[in-house]
Structure formats: C-alpha cells, structure tokens
Structure 1
Amino acid sequence: MDNGIGNWPTLHRVRHPHRVALIDATTGAEYTFEQLDLRTNALADALRSRGIGRGDRVALLTLNSTHMLEVVLAVAKLGAVAVPINWRLQAPEVQYILNDSGARLLFVSPQTAALARAAAEGTEVSGIVEIPSGEQRAAGEPSEYEALIAEGSDERVPVDVAADDLSMLMYTSGTTGFPKGAMLTHANHHWNGINNLTAGDGVGPRDVNIASAPLFHIGALGVITLPLLYIGGTTVVLETFTPDAWLDAVAKHRVSVAFAVPAMWAAIDASPAVETADLSSLRFGISGGAPCPVVLIESLTRHGVRLCEGFGLTETSPNVCVLEVDEAVAYAGSVGKPVLHVEMKVADGEGDEVPPGVIGELLVRGPNVFVGYWNKPEATAEALQDGWFHTGDLATCDEAGYYRIVDRKKDMIVTGGENVYASEVEQTMYRHPAVAEVAVIGLPDEKWGESVTAVVAAKPGSEVSEAELIAWTRERIAHFKSPRAVHFVDVLPRTATGKVLKRELRLRWSGDESAVRR
C-alpha cells in the first residue's frame, strides 16, 4: 500500500477529479487532481525506466513551477527521495549537496542549467533533465520535460511506501558550516498537513494558496503548499517573487491563504500597487522564517492583510507553533502556541523544563519531527535526545503558554558579562522611523568580550546618524543592550529564504564569519 505523499493526487482524483490542484501563474494553465495524478504517474514510469527506484535520490535545482511539484510527487510514487537544492548557492556548494546525498538524477531550470552542469561534474549524477522556464511554457515551446512525461505510461503502478519511509532530504541553509540533510518522512508531511487544519484560522479544501517563496525551502513547500495538496486545495505557483506579480496573482486567482517571509511581506507592503490591490479574497497570511517587525504587521493590517506569525524549522517539516491573527499585534514578538500535535518545552542544559519566563533551549517533539541528519550520526544524536528535538533556539514561555524565541544559541551576545539577545535590540530599532532593516551582531571586543553592533539599512530618503540611532535606542532599552557601533549598508545580505546572513556581516567587520566563541 502506498502511504506516501505521492498517493495524495491519486486519492483526490477519486474524490474530486475535476478540482484544480495547481495553477501556473505564468501561463494560467490549470491542472486538476486527475491531470496531476496522470502526469505524475507517467513521470514516475519514465523515471523508473531510467533506473530510479526505492531509496534513490533525485535532486531539483529549479525555480518554482507546477512541474517542480510534479517531480516531488512522482519521485515519492517510486519510493525514491527528493532533494530540493537552493539555486542561489555556488557550484561547489551545490556539488557538496549532490555528493552528500548521492543524487542520481538532477532536474534543472534553464536559468540554473549552467550552474547544475558545473556542480554535477565528478558526482554520481548520471542525467540532467531541464524543466522549461515560465517564458518557454508561455510560448508553448517543446521541452525535454514534457517529452519525458510522454515516454511514460499514465497507468498507476502503486509501490509499497511506508509512512516512515524517507521522502525528502531538505538541506539546512548552511549559514554556518556545511549544510546538513534533514531526513523527512512521508509521515512527517502527513502530520504537518493535519496540524494545518487547525493552525491559526486553519486551511481547507476550498482554499487557494500562492507559492511565491522558493519551493526548495521548507517554508514555501511545507507551511501551506504540501498541506493543501494533502487536504485537496489549490496552489498558484509563481516562478519568482515580485510584489506586483504577487498582488496581481492574489486578485486574479482569488487567493485565500499565503505564506511569505518578512522581507517579502515588507516588499508587498511597500509596493504602491498595494493601495489599490484587491485583497478581499485573502483570509489570512502567514509570516515565518524570521521575526516579523511589529510595525510591518501593523502596516499590513491597515492594508487589509490579516497576518499571523508562525515558527518552524526544516527539521519539523516545518510547522511548530502559530501566533493567531487576532494576537499578532498584542503579542508581537511571540511565536504563539504549539500546533495541535506538537509538544514544546523550554529546558535547561540537562533537558529539564525551566519555570515560566526563564530562558532556556526550545525542545520540540511530535510526529512531524524529522528522523535525523543524512549520514551524520553524531549531529543526529546531538539534535535528537530522549525523544525531543533540541532546536538550538533560546526561548521563554510565559504563564499563559505563549512562547517567545529569544535568539539562536550561537548568536547570543555576551558583553561585559551580560547576555544580550539580538532580536530584542532589532525589534526596538525597527521602531525608528528611518530604519528599514537592521541586524544586530556581536563583534570581538578586548574590554567587553563582545561589542553589540548594529548594521542598518535606512529607508529611502531618510537621514540618520550613528550617534542619533545609538542615543535613540538607549532611551528605550538598557545601555548595555544598545549598540556601541552602527554601520550603514544599502541592503542586508539575506539567504534566498529571507534570513539575514549574519556571518557575512561578521566577516565584513571583524574578519571572522562565525559567531563569537565563548
């Protein structure tokens, strides 16, 4: 029996074959669940003829497309393992993932083909298949991908896939050290879908999602997109994100639910088009991947976007907890409470729960938690202890059960013997009217051990000095928490998923990219 995610289109084809599963935002092409099942059957058969079978890894270095999701489902139908890769990496970084995963086949986009071929040299990759770009699809050009589907039979050939079988290797962003492949099972995705039924305002089969963040990341793939495939809803896929394209797609396709990282929500909020955009269909949006400034939540609310904030990790596939829409401003800074089938606790170094309000490490357990890191038993043993996943995040939980992520362990700044949590300083500085973006880091300091340093991108047309920002911040938080130095940049360096690359900031101003060691 197929208990994998590849069986989801088959089940929905029986229940409601003509309901739309996927929409290509570039071409407007719609794929019903019946079409999705038949196309992924044929793709799976074609891959089988190329020697792909149970346990084999198939990598994807592609921009967003409905076809990318077809590959994920077809691979799952074979009992094989999908390996989505960040296309913003350099060739040596991609090559590391290909070698580490042992991928045998690689799907690419025209925009990533040169990178893919350079990275695949010297690896076990025996074939590269190109998925057409949005421009090529719109022009109706013949493609290698469609030819591959045409090779296969669309008859369903079920493979015995167990719920606990591996479905994906999702590599961590690699902001420090080499990336690790988080092993996610079919059951992890299944339970993540179940959790979504009641997370926040919940999602249902009549919802329309927009996938605009990169689908190689667990946020874009796992927060709403995969859960809606499980539930039987519809997803509109944008090849790449621009705020105006997002606004147009929401209005055109009557999008009801949407995930984006704070940098994307900020771009949407700053677009002049948001003033006249039709957002009436949008029930709620979810912000995740990084803390969302409360001023941005307030501004989006004024534009009619009901925003909730979620927290999750690659290793939890990803949803862990949600701050409800009606709590987003009142409890700003909190990530809310656990989703239905997840347990959380804040623990000390021995794994024992600490009292409310006390800072400790956030631990998570539930059926959505990964089963370990690919080929890294020591890292797995460190992360998974006594049934709990040790996230590496510092957090608190208050008397009412609201969790707050204080900082990453590795990013905690110790200055003059005092602990400073960068997120607190950042949230304060975001309140300054001239600050568009801010990242707070600790730099080596002979006197204080570490010096609190802010890197700021000012809003266009705004003028503010280092001294003004330091004085302004000291009026609002303790002096030892306030930055001793402020550096100005045009824009903060970010990963493709919107997380600030603090290692690049440390490298620029200290010559050492790592968090200060203690």
Structure 2
Amino acid sequence: MVKGIGSWLPKQCERFGDKTALVYREKRFTYAQFNERVNRLADCFLAQGVQKGTRVGAILFNTNEMIEVLFACAKIGAICVPINYRLSVDEIEYIANDAGVDWLFYDERMQAAVTELTKRKTAIQTWVHVGAAVPFGQLEYEGLLREGNNQEPYVSVHIDDVHMMMYTSGTTGKPKGVMLSHGNTLWNAINAVHAMSLQDDDSTLTVAPLFHIGGMNVFTTTLLYKGGKVVLHDKFDPVLTLETIGKEKITTLFMVPAMWLAIMHLPNFDHYDLGSLRLNVSGGAPCPLTVIEFFQKRNIPFYEGFGLTETAPFVALLDPANSLRKNGSIGKTPIHTDARVVNEAGIDVQANEIGELIVRGPNVMKGYWNLPEATQNVMKEGWFYTGDLARVDEEGFFYIVDRKKDMIITGGENVYPTEVEQVIMRYPGVREVAVIGVHDEFWGESVKAFVVLQDHLQSLTVEELRNHCEGKLAHFKMPKFLEIIPQLPRNATGKILKNVLREQGGK
C-alpha cells in the first residue's frame, strides 16, 4: 500500500540521517532528530486517542513545531488544520468549530486569544501550549514529546487520505476548508522537483506563513520530500531575510509580491551576498513587472508562479529563460498538471481569447469540507474551475488576466484591473496600486485607482496619471478617479482586499 507523506522522513533518515532538515532560530535538527520528534508526538497522539481523520488545529508561527505537528498527523492519518494566527478570536472560533478541531496546538504569543477561546463553546478537547508558563490544565509541547517513544507508528495511511485542511482566506464570504490529500502534496512536490530541478543540496528560507499554501507547499514540504534544508523565519523582516540568505547559503526562496517589493526597496540591497540564490519564486498575487525587471537586471533568476490552495498549489511557472520575452505570463503547467482556458459553455477558446482557467491533475483538492454544493460548483468532469480569467498564447504560455469578480465593465467594455495596475506601477514614485470599478450612472462602472506613493510628500493628480497612461491604455481603461492612500489593505497572505477598498472608497 502506498503510504502518505509521513513515510518521507524515515526514508530520508536511511539516506542521510545526519543531514540538517530544519532550522528555526538557534535550533537545528537533522533528519534523524526531526523524525524522532515527529514519532514521539505521533505516539502521544495514539496513546491519547487521536485517530485517522481526527482534526488537529495549529495556531503556530513558522516554527519547527508547526512542521512536526503536520508530519505527526500525517504518520497516523490525522488531519492537520493550520490556522491563521492573525485572525480575530471570532474567526478562529469559526474555523475550529467548522473543522471540528479536537486538539489545538498554539504558540505562547497567542495566549490572549486562546484564553478567550477557552471561554467559548468549541469542539476543542485538548489544548497544547508551545512555550513557557503553561496554563493550568493544558499540555506542554516538549513535555508531551518526552512522554512518547521513537517508534514508527503502524497505521495504515493511503495516498488518497486527507492530511491537511487549509482554509481559504475568505475575502468573499466565510472561509472554506480545502481538503488536501497526501497525494495532492506528493504530486505538488513531484511537479516542483521536475519543473525546477530541485536537488537534495538545495535549501529554502520559509518566510511566507505556513498557514498559507505558498509558505507550506511551494518549497517547504517539497524540499523535505527531496531531502533539502528548510530554514524557518516566524516573521518577515526584509533585512533579516537578506542576511539569512548569505548566512545559510539559501538557494530557493518563495515570497508574495508585497515581500519582494519590501526587499527591493531596501536602500542597500546590492550590499548583501545573494550569490547562492538560484530559484526565486513570486506567487499568491500578480507580481508587478517592475519587481521582475529589478531582479532580472541583477542577474538573479526570478520565476513567476501561479497556484491556488485548491491545487496544492502548483498550476504554472514562468522560467527565467522566457521571463523577458514572455513578461506578464505565468508560464506553462508542470508535467503532471493540465490547464485549459474555456468559455461559459466549457469549450476551449482560441489563442489569446479570454476565458476561465480550469485545472486538472493529481494535485487538485478532494473538495471543500462539508460543502458538497460548493465543491460541485467548481469541480466539473474532473476539472477545477478556478474563477480566474486567463488567456493562452500560440506557444502555450498562460496569462492571468484577472479574477472574474474583479473585472470592470464600463460602457459595455471589459476592463481587467491587473492590466491597468501594471501600467500605473511604471509611473515614477508609485510604490503600489490597486484598481477597482466604481458605480457610474452613465457608463455602469468607471475605473478608480488607489495608489500608495514611495514618498508621502509627493503629489499625484488623476490628470497626471491619465497622461502617463496615454498611448499605453485605451481611454475607457484609464482611471477616472484617483485616491492616494498610505497603504493597501491586505489579508494575512498578502493579497490586496479589494472588497475593503470597494466598501471604504468605492464611490
């Protein structure tokens, strides 16, 4: 029987048990030490009644404990539920109850929120504290590990079993629990290893949060599958990120565009030793072309990636060899995943026509937790309907045009905000931009741009912006309204919350 991802660790111990697997702050664990800690936790789970299918929640930062909980669950068939530590208590409570979380691991930095959560009616039976000063009646993480033994658990785990439930960011409506199987994570890793030629001497720095599919599966689980080194940062600090790349000789790095922007704007960026980097991937949101060009000019290989929680996440990747001539593309699909662009009837559109991107492959989720209707709405005849508008050119390169829900219709013409945003980003002094549609009695909708400037003393008028767009955009695509704001609202994974912009200033 094919086993789940928990079988990776003993295999790695056979190959190179003394090799470094995880680094978190001053702690360094070899594969043998990592596997022992996972086995001890898995043994405690079994001793205390955790079974296949039990949901184990984790409000943990990017720490070794988060990875250990994930793999301990995987070894016994339990389901790990990473929970966004930036959520409110009400939101955490919703996820805990929706998922039916039985055990909850939490970082001591979350004590105030968890104390409030213990006063509420939830499904949580066992609370495990990671850190010092353990509250009365709760378990302490390291003490729990000391009680377990270092024996491989004998639990039948199949590749199609769910091993992780990751909740969508919930920018529209309640977040949904995406059920990812052992096979989804395995095939995502296989796709990534093949597409990027990952080796067991590669290392990654995980700064994107592990409750986000990008932080968890782009390089973190993938390199543990391959036998590489994973360095964890529990918060994003641009300077520390660049220092760690040089210190740990990091070769692979995944970050969301907001993070790439932050390090790009460091005044002494060129003083850092980044010579070890060979794979830099941006994902989670469209990456401004100015960011890609910044790294290209410094001969730092830069990949534009595209994926979703529901696809674990690898859908497409644009390699550096094509990054200049195919700027703006997300590239092509990996070997074990297929994608198409279809019209409303589900029929493939012609080259460069816009339609909806649909995806099929062994990396596509099993469905949404307890939401059969929502699952049926997006899963049709084996294809996952992403809700993203896209086109594919004559050479098979995919381009994301925008989210269906973000498309603006003005005077019967379709305007895709991403296209407008890429043009505005080239205006001198613009740091970030988001474009939405606002109500217009005559045209139906008009284009409005929210702009963050690099210098708060700088000024910008809508006329100046329209002059900049002249010749680059059709007139109906140009912003009719402009609002300068200090920062764009984002969710915990770095995605811009356009629904918030519509509510607060979409008039």
1:112-154 C-alpha deviation (Å, 9 max, x unpaired): 2222333452110112212239xx9xxxxxx921111111111
2:122 match? 123
The 1-side partners of 2:418 and 2:171 are apart by: 17
The 2-side partners of 1:371 and 1:457 are apart by: 39
The 1-side partners of 2:372 and 2:254 are apart by: 33
1:72 match? 70
Q: 1:329 Cα deviation (Å)?
A: 3.0
2:347 match? 352
2:194 match? 198
Q: Are residue 224 (structure 1) and residue 219 (structure 2) matched?
A: yes
Secondary structure of the residue aligned to 2:197 is coil
TM-score by length of 2: 0.96
Q: 1:244 Cα deviation (Å)?
A: 0.7
Which structure 1 residue ranges, 5 or more long, are not aligned? 137-142, 512-518
The 2-side partners of 1:116 and 1:456 are apart by: 37
| Contact residue 462 and residue 479 of structure 2 kept, 8 A | no
Secondary structure of the residue aligned to 2:152 is coil
1:52 match? 50
Which structure 2 residue ranges, 5 or more long, are not aligned? 134-138
| Contact residue 244 and residue 273 of structure 1 kept, 8 A | no
1:25-60 C-alpha deviation (Å, 9 max, x unpaired): x21x21111111111000111122232111000011
Q: 1:109 aligns with which of 107, 110, 115?
A: 107
1:21 match? 21
| Contact residue 207 and residue 257 of structure 1 kept, 8 A | yes
Partner amino acid for 2:490? R
Q: Are residue 488 (structure 1) and residue 484 (structure 2) matched?
A: yes
| Contact residue 437 and residue 506 of structure 2 kept, 8 A | no
| Contact residue 184 and residue 370 of structure 1 kept, 8 A | yes
TM-score by length of 1: 0.94
| Alpha carbons of structure 1 residues 144 and 386: separation in structure 2 relative to 1, 3 Å | same
Secondary structure of the residue aligned to 1:3 is coil
| Contact residue 205 and residue 228 of structure 1 kept, 8 A | yes
Partner amino acid for 1:51? G
Partner amino acid for 2:484? F
2:59 match? 61
Partner amino acid for 1:167? H
1:378-421 C-alpha deviation (Å, 9 max, x unpaired): 00001100010000000000100010000111111111111000
2:311 match? 316
| Contact residue 274 and residue 303 of structure 1 kept, 8 A | no
Q: Which segment is superposed worse, 166-175 or 15-24? A: 15-24
The 2-side partners of 1:253 and 1:84 are apart by: 27
| Contact residue 284 and residue 325 of structure 1 kept, 8 A | no
The 2-side partners of 1:38 and 1:234 are apart by: 17
Partner amino acid for 1:130? H
| Contact residue 462 and residue 480 of structure 2 kept, 8 A | no
Segments of 4+ moved more than 4 angstroms: none
| Contact residue 2 and residue 160 of structure 1 kept, 8 A | no
2:500 match? 504
Secondary structure of the residue aligned to 1:129 is strand
Q: Are residue 425 (structure 1) and residue 389 (structure 2) matched?
A: no
Secondary structure of the residue aligned to 2:35 is helix
Q: Are residue 182 (structure 1) and residue 178 (structure 2) matched?
A: yes
2:141 match? 145
Give the RMSD, CA atoms, in angstroms: 1.5
Q: 1:452 aligns with which of 441, 447, 453?
A: 447
Q: How does 1:75-94 map to 2 (within 5 A)?
A: 75-94=73-92
1:292 match? 287
| Contact residue 106 and residue 125 of structure 1 kept, 8 A | yes
The 2-side partners of 1:12 and 1:364 are apart by: 32
Secondary structure of the residue aligned to 1:272 is coil
The 2-side partners of 1:415 and 1:266 are apart by: 31
1:406 match? 401
Secondary structure of the residue aligned to 2:217 is helix
The 1-side partners of 2:128 and 2:266 are apart by: 36
Q: Which segment is superposed worse, 381-390 or 442-451? A: 442-451
Q: Are residue 132 (structure 1) and residue 128 (structure 2) matched?
A: no
| Alpha carbons of structure 1 residues 381 and 241: separation in structure 2 relative to 1, 3 Å | same
Q: 1:2 Cα deviation (Å)?
A: 6.4
| Alpha carbons of structure 1 residues 2 and 73: separation in structure 2 relative to 1, 3 Å | farther
Identity of aligned residues (%): 45
